[in-house]
């Protein structure tokens, strides 16, 4: 017997609530204690949003409930872009669905698109209204239409949700500023400088040049406000259960507009404790688990992606470890893979990369995996620890980080890279880099045919690396055609202070140059090969192996069809790998998926050309 719509909805809600109730309230109570009245409100909120979901989304819920690992498929490939820079506005995106399809994209991430504060909004990460689309990009209705059109083509949609802070122009902040005590408790406000200084002792600065310190004093209402990032971004007080309810409400509101994945911004900073650096604290993981359980109950089609750009030990925890296994974020950015790709390219040595990726990261996670990427809208912070460097002969951590920053700013003799220094901290000597994939990989500085070849091959090796490592690969807009740094950002008053705009160019839709076409074709080809390779699904373990040739990075994906051995030559010289190494990894035929040719040689070793990438089955 088929139940009619209403009882069936109730039944589904009850089943899902029963499934995730423990995940939700065990974590919720760790943070907020026993609060039956609040829990009751939370449950009612979940029920309300579930009932309000469209039939199409409810069907998707069912489909993904039956296949909760849908996003781990080798068929998934993502594309990340600013809506205005890519297509003018949301309506414009509709004209480019064919472009996604031609490249093989089935997951798009619209960079911050909720209503930002006017003027400088940190690239849209200073949000004043989570329920409205940035008017410069369109309306909520237009957004829904785009999401629906994409859904019909089986392309899923990610948007950003900033969890750590709101703009100081957000309605809650305005009320707080006007003296409303209830809303002051939504933020972290202090009366005395002494309290603030006590925290500062152990905090680090995220934007030491642009926004030094972590607090802002407002004489109008005589309080110090916690502002980790910029002065206009006020940190939320997650110790207040009302904040949890508000955000859960917003998440489900957005889910019902057709969002498939929420990129949860700056999660590492959500919990504060005196005497710590206030990053990656255990409470963050309980909050993230509770939020995940909440959306799993009321919008199971939606997944969470955590943005925590932190050191290896902390990074893994966002994909769910220990009691959070299978219960936290579904995706997290693998910033360590990114950092070590660039580090190894500069040194032509993969020993540190092999050590770090093998030492700190499990071979797979439950219902979760990496978002693999090599460039994004942000700078590259050299998250390489002193302890890890101490394990690899010849590397001194501080000197290595400084070398990388200088190398990618094009300031180190012989560097092929062109980029900018981002946020140099005079106190710690720490500095980061901006720059587009192609410019950092040498395409901008290339003068000879040989240098051009090397740059293109560095890019394509990177694409092959992120397409095979294990996770959901994310291409950042423009990288698929090798766009160079956009120096015009310095002419835009709101952007001039922030050289991350160097690598946030506009998409040129005209005719491509021969080089752009080569990068595009090479990228598209790698994507096609990935999709044809079940070994590369994200739930297949990734085992890092040391090749015995320090220029070559390798790992094995142990699929049902047998192993796939991926190898990458990080140098401009030919490298040899003995046949026995391949055989020891289980390779029988020495067939390279990417070139559709055998790599076997009569000499007893495989010869890898400069910047080679091979996927051997
Ligand atoms: C995230 C974003 C970054 C932004 C910061 C503050 O790290 O990726 O662009 O500046 O959060 O919201």
Nearest to 502 by CA among 448, 563, 433: 433
The CATH number of the domain holding residue 605 is 2.60.40.1180
126 shares its domain with 248: yes
Provide the pLDDT for residue 230: 96
| φ, ψ for residue 193, nearest 5 deg | -65, -30
542-545 and 552-559 strand pairing: antiparallel
327 shares its domain with 342: yes
- Nearest 5°: the CA angle 213, 217, 219 is 160
| Matching residue, tokens 């395409």 | 443
251 shares its domain with 266: yes
By the 8 A CB rule, do 354 and 553 touch? yes
Q: How far apart are alpha carbons 334 and 315 in whole angstroms?
A: 8
Structural domain contains residue 427: yes
490 shares its domain with 573: no
155 shares its domain with 179: no
198: tokens are 């006590």
401 shares its domain with 495: yes
303 shares its domain with 438: yes
Which of 207, 227, 265, 307 most suits a substitution to test ligand 1, by most atoms within 8 Å of the C-beta? 265
152 shares its domain with 181: no
Structural domain contains residue 11: no
Q: How far apart are alpha carbons 517 and 588 in whole angstroms?
A: 35
The CATH number of the domain holding residue 459 is 3.20.20.80
Instruction: Average the pLDDT over 229-257 and give the result.
Output: 98
Structural domain contains residue 5: no
pLDDT cut 70: percent of the chain above it: 99
Query: pLDDT, tens digit, for every residue of 154-200?
Result: 999 999 999 999 999 999 999 999 999 999 999 999 999 999 999 99
Domain boundary among 483, 515, 533: 533
> Which amino acid residue places its CA nearest to atom 7 of ligand 1?
266
pLDDT band at 218 (very low <50, low <70, confident <90, very high): very high
Query: Does pLDDT of 589 surpass 70?
Result: yes
Burial degree of 315 (CB within 10 A; 0-12, 13-18, 19+): buried
Q: Is 269 in the pocket of ligand 1 (CB under 6 A)?
A: no
pLDDT band at 555 (very low <50, low <70, confident <90, very high): very high
426 shares its domain with 568: no
Q: How far apart are alpha carbons 451 and 343 in whole angstroms?
A: 19
By the 8 A CB rule, do 594 and 614 touch? yes
Q: How far apart are alpha carbons 413 and 410 in whole angstroms?
A: 8
Provide the pLDDT for residue 4: 64
C-beta atoms surrounding 43 within 10 Å: 18
Query: pLDDT, tens digit, for every residue of 451-470?
Result: 999 999 999 999 999 999 99
Domain extent, residue 188, equals 171-235
Atom of ligand 1 nearest to the CA of 229: 6
Structural domain contains residue 19: no
361 shares its domain with 465: yes
Structural domain contains residue 34: no
Query: pLDDT, tens digit, for every residue of 86-136?
Result: 999 999 999 999 999 999 999 999 999 999 999 999 999 999 999 999 999
Tell me the three state secondary structure of residue 144: helix
pLDDT band at 497 (very low <50, low <70, confident <90, very high): very high
328 shares its domain with 190: no
Catalytic machinery residues: 265, 307
Give the DSSP letter of residue 487: G
179 shares its domain with 157: no
Q: Is 229 in the pocket of ligand 1 (CB under 6 A)?
A: yes
The CATH number of the domain holding residue 215 is 3.90.400.10
Provide the pLDDT for residue 532: 96
C-alpha 30 – ligand 1 centre gap (Å):
28
Q: Is 125 in the pocket of ligand 1 (CB under 6 A)?
A: yes
Atom of ligand 1 nearest to the CA of 309: 7
Structural domain contains residue 61: no
Q: Is 300 in the pocket of ligand 1 (CB under 6 A)?
A: no
Query: Does pLDDT of 559 surpass 90?
Result: no
Structural domain contains residue 270: yes
Structural domain contains residue 2: no
Domain count, the chain: 3
Tell me the three state secondary structure of residue 535: helix
Q: Is 249 in the pocket of ligand 1 (CB under 6 A)?
A: no
Domain boundary among 235, 258, 278: 235
Q: Is 498 in the pocket of ligand 1 (CB under 6 A)?
A: no
Residue 603, C-beta contacts closer than 8 angstroms, at least 6 positions apart:
none
Domain boundary among 490, 507, 533: 533
């Amino acid at each position: 017997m088929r139940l009619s719509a209403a009882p069936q909805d109730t039944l589904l809600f009850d089943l899902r609530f029963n499934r995730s109730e423990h995940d939700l309230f065990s974590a919720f109570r760790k943070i907020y204690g026993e609060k039956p009245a609040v829990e009751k409100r939370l449950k009612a909120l979940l029920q309300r949003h579930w009932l309000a979901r469209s039939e199409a989304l409810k069907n998707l819920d069912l489909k993904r409930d039956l296949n909760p690992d849908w996003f781990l498929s080798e068929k998934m490939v993502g594309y990340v872009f600013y809506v205005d820079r890519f297509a003018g506005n949301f309506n414009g995106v509709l004209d480019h669905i064919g472009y996604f399809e031609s490249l093989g994209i089935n997951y798009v991430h619209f960079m911050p698109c909720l209503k930002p504060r006017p003027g400088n909004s940190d690239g849209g990460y200073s949000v004043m209204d989570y329920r409205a689309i940035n008017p410069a990009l369109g309306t909520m209705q237009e957004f829904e239409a785009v999401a629906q059109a994409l859904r019909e083509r089986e392309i899923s949609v990610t948007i950003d949700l900033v969890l750590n802070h709101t703009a100081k122009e957000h309605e809650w902040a305005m009320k707080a500023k006007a003296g409303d005590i209830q809303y002051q408790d939504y933020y972290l406000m202090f009366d005395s400088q002494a309290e603030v200084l006590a925290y500062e002792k152990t905090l680090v600065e995220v934007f030491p040049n642009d926004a030094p310190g972590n607090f802002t004093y407002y004489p109008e209402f005589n309080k110090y406000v916690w502002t980790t990032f910029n002065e206009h971004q006020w940190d939320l007080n997650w110790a207040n259960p009302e904040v949890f309810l508000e955000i859960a409400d917003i998440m489900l509101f957005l889910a019902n507009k057709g969002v498939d994945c929420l990129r949860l911004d700056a999660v590492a900073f959500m919990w504060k404790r005196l005497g710590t650096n206030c990053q990656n604290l255990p409470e963050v993981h309980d909050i993230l688990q509770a939020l995940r359980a909440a959306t799993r109950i009321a919008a199971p089609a939606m997944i969470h992606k955590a943005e925590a750009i932190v050191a290896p030990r902390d990074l893994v925890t966002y994909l769910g470890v220990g009691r959070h296994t299978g219960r936290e974020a579904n995706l997290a950015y693998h910033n360590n893979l990114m950092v070590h790709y660039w580090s190894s390219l500069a040194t032509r040595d993969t020993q540190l990369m092999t050590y770090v990726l093998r030492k700190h990261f499990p071979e797979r996670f439950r219902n979760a995996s990496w978002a693999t990427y090599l460039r994004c809208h942000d700078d590259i912070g050299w998250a390489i620890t002193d302890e890890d460097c101490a394990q690899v002969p010849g590397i001194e951590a501080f000197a290595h980080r400084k070398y990388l920053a200088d190398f990618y700013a094009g300031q180190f003799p012989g560097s092929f890279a062109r980029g900018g220094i981002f946020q140099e901290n005079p106190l710690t000597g720490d500095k980061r880099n901006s720059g587009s994939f192609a410019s950092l990989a040498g395409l901008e500085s290339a003068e000879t045919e040989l240098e051009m070849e090397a740059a293109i091959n560095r890019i394509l090796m990177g694409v092959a690396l992120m397409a095979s490592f294990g996770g959901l690969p994310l291409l950042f807009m423009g990288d698929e055609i090798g766009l160079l740094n956009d120096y015009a950002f310095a002419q835009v008053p709101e952007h001039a202070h922030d050289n991350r705009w160097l690598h946030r160019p506009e998409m040129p839709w005209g005719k491509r140059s021969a080089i752009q076409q080569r990068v595009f074709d090479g990228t598209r080809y790698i994507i096609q090969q990935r999709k044809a390779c079940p070994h590369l699904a994200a739930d297949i373990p990734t085992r890092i192996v040391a090749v015995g040739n320090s220029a070559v990075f390798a790992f094995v994906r142990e699929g049902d069809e047998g192993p796939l051995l991926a190898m990458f030559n990080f140098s401009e010289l030919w490298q040899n790998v003995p046949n026995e190494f391949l055989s020891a990894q289980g390779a029988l035929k020495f067939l390279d998926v990417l070139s559709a040719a055998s790599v076997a040689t009569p000499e007893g070793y495989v010869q890898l050309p400069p910047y080679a990438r091979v996927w051997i089955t």
